[in-house]
Amino acid sequence: DLAEPSEIQRLGVRFINAIAVETLDQLPGLLVLPPASPSAMGLPIQEFMHQTRYSLSDYGYSLNVIQTIQPPSADDENLKLILDLDVFTEDTVEMAEEVLRKRLAEMRWIKNKAFFSILTPEAIGRFKE
């Protein structure tokens, strides 16, 4: 209110999810595209980080997806599968409230659609319990 900006340079919706897993062997049951070891080597995966950026040109948005594993902490012995989803635009956005509400609603829908597209039906079932 004090600065009274006339436009926004970057608008986004970001949500970081942490899903408890006991072992990395569970990842194929959770992720549609889980990390895989080179088949000729058969090495066990200790850690992974995967980042993909998608263009949603029909909307003028980008979707950045980061998938990684967080090691156990002193407070929690479980590994955490981290899914970081960021839907954003760097196109100039008008400050009108109705425009912002529409854009944020679209971004939330895209973020939710991406979240449920990344996870297997088995993983999604865990959230219903």
Instruction: Quick: pLDDT tens for 69-110.
Output: 998 888 888 899 999 999 999 998 888 889 999 999 999 999
pLDDT at residue 7 greater than cutoff 90: no
pTM of this structure: 0.86
Q: What's the pLDDT score for residue 129?
A: 60
Round the average pLDDT of the chain to a whole number and report it: 91
What's the average model confidence in pLDDT over 33-39? 89
Q: What sections of 1-129 are H helices per DSSP?
A: 27-30, 97-118, 121-128
Nearest residue to 114 (alpha-carbon basis) of 49, 39, 61, 37? 61
Q: What sections of 3-96 are H helices per DSSP?
A: 27-30
